[in-house]
Amino acid sequence: MKTEITPPKKPFIFYYLIVLLVILLINFLLIPQISQQQITQASYSDFLNMISSGAVKQVQIENNLITFSAEVGGQARIFQTGMMDDPNLIALLYNSGIEFTRVIPQEASPFISFLLSWILPLVLAVAIGQLLMRQFTKNMGGAGAMSFGKSNAKVYVAAQTGKTFADVAGEDEAKAALKEIVDFLHEPEKYKQIGAKLPKGALLVGTPGTGKTLLAQAVAGEANVPFFSISGSEFVEMFVGMGAARVRDLFKQAQEKAPCIVFIDEIDAIGKKRDGTMIGGNDEREQTLNQLLTEMDGFDSSKGVVILAATNRPESLDQALLRPGRFDRRVPVELPDLAGREAILRVHAKDVRTSENIDYRAIALATSGTSGAELANIINEGALLAVKEGRAKVEQRDLEEAIETVLAGYQRKNAVISPEEKKVVSYHEIGHALVAARQSHSAPVHKITIIPRTSGALGYTMQVDENEHYLMSRDEILNKIATLTAGRAAEELIFGQVTSGAANDIEQATKLARTMVTRLGMSDEFGMIALSTVNNMYLGGDTSLACSEQTSTRIDNEVMLIIKNAHEKALSILKNDQAKLHELASYLLEKETITGEEFMDILQKESTALPEPEEETSATPSDTVDEVNI
């Protein structure tokens, strides 16, 4: 089947240039051109003297202007002079035998005159106006900038969204909360008979990439109703009052097409708490929010207009927006659990040619804490890797490498690392793995590598839990901190000095220890007291202390004590298992990457005598290197 290729549209400036060229041609053809020869001004008396001397050869009279050619100094030249009221001029020219003529003014065609005088200037004015308007609209943020009072909502029908609940995996609780809305839109009479009212709005909250927008599209697809989609930032522009006008227009369109679903993404752009800091507390954003509150109160929910909104920052929303009667339901869209991650992987793998023996559960176990968007990216990265390796299907190893690519970056195969630095990295990573393996309540080692990654890590140790965990005991957290400090402890034990390779380990260990003291109540000194608050829990969960300066100092001392004890524990484990540390580090240095099975096989068999590194061997990486521990 032959595909017809539509040529790209030419810009409007192309057509403006064509019109300008036509005007120039008309001007050239219809308007007499002035002679390019040089014309000299002369007085009328000089004109008469030249006639008397016989120098004048030709004369042309046009209105009050006389143009004549005369021979001066043996050279023909052209002169111009003004016409005088001289009744004897014609007789003088005739008697002197001079060729003369009078130019009769020629009037252009009335149609051409009307075209050039009225139509052409009007067309040019409109064309230039359109060009300036388009340029101004582009500079002001898109086509919607000049559509005063009109909302930029994209309207989809079910066939365009093409999404149903079958396309949403790993969010069973969120789907269950939204299915009632779909059922109401399908059978409103069933609810009206008992007196139940449709919730006016549902607020989807969760971390980025969990599928809030996809859920809203799935609700519209399941209900088979029109779907209005708009971002909160599109309401607020530089023009005062435009946001409120757009809100009115959006709800007007929605009620005309009811039943329908209106989805406002990133509603925190217009729904932030009103604090009254502006003059009168009534800036453009607050006007937009007030109009939204008014519209949500004003429309009849029995018509089937449902407002869905999504945000990553629910704590920043105005309380008036969250009260019953506006956003009646708050639907958390959390990170998927183990079963959810496996289901999401299968959904995104439907359109990818995969091998029959793919173990999606193993991939799900290795991706704890990832969102649906990240899991989709892992499937895509695996497919790209399979193509790069020349395979027709995605295999298990492709997905495993894709996990490392998404979490730790691509391999830096061309990175040049000195043998001394590679030896330090090898002992560092085996230090992590060995301490993790020798402790109880610690996740099994899945993979160890010293191949550098684009994230900046010169190597990493991957631990994967065999089951999903929702709680962590105090012992488990302390063991994890000890594992994080084990890389630095191995460097101290073997080389007698430390490097910059433990930067990320130190950061993670400090964060865990501080969380134990300030949020989890796992400190012997403070007990069950919350000493910090969490901000933006869906956007990183940054914490801020809620205590006095004296208490803050005591917290720092407690955190330092926890990390110091964990470091001493790791150092003790490595000293007692130093032979295995040498053996495993040598094996990793040779292979560069080993699996958890290989690691455990060497660890569980009897030790073999290996020479310890020479005393002069040392390495001091010049740059700070972040460690990736999963």
- In a 3-state reduction of DSSP, which class is residue 587? helix
For residues 97 and 26, what is the distance between their CA atoms, to the nearest angstrom? 39
Characterize the bridge pairing of strands 154-156 and 227-231: antiparallel
For residues 120 and 510, what is the distance between their CA atoms, to the nearest angstrom? 76
Task: Please give the DSSP secondary-structure letter assigned to residue 350.
Answer: T
The catalytic position among 237, 286, 429, 583 is 429
For residues 535 and 314, what is the distance between their CA atoms, to the nearest angstrom? 11
- Cα angle value 103/109/114 (rounded, 5°): 125
Peptide bond into 199 cis (omega under 30): no
- In a 3-state reduction of DSSP, which class is residue 468? coil
Which two tokens mark 485? Answer: 């400090």
Amino acid at 314: P
Count of beta carbons in the 10 Å neighbourhood of residue 105: 6
SS (H, E, C) 537-548: CCCCCEEEECCC
The reply to whether 429 belongs to the active site is yes
Please answer whether residues 84 and 44 qualify as being in contact, where contact means their C-beta atoms are separated by less than 8 angstroms: yes
Q: Where are the alpha helices (DSSP H) in 195-303?
A: 212-223, 242-256, 284-298
- In a 3-state reduction of DSSP, which class is residue 522? coil
Measured in degrees and rounded to the nearest 5, phi and psi for residue 358 equal -70, 130
Amino acid at 133: M
For residues 440 and 433, what is the distance between their CA atoms, to the nearest angstrom? 13
* Residue linked to tokens 């927008």: 213
- Residue in 538, 547, 84, 550 with CA at minimum distance from that of residue 266: 538
- In a 3-state reduction of DSSP, which class is residue 81? strand
Q: Where are the alpha helices (DSSP H) in 299-371?
A: 319-322, 338-348, 360-365
- Residue in 339, 567, 366 with CA at minimum distance from that of residue 463: 366
For residues 343 and 179, what is the distance between their CA atoms, to the nearest angstrom? 19
Residue 455 burial by Cβ neighbours in a 10 Å radius (0-12, 13-18, 19+): middle
Which two tokens mark 116? Answer: 């050039």
Count of beta carbons in the 10 Å neighbourhood of residue 439: 19
Residue 608 burial by Cβ neighbours in a 10 Å radius (0-12, 13-18, 19+): exposed
Find the distance separating the first CA and the last CA of the chain, reported in whole Å. Answer: 51
The sign of the torsion formed by the CA atoms of 296, 302, 305, 308 equals: positive
Please answer whether residues 404 and 448 qualify as being in contact, where contact means their C-beta atoms are separated by less than 8 angstroms: no
Which two tokens mark 156? Answer: 């989809």
For residues 374 and 170, what is the distance between their CA atoms, to the nearest angstrom? 13
Task: Cite the active site residues.
Answer: 429
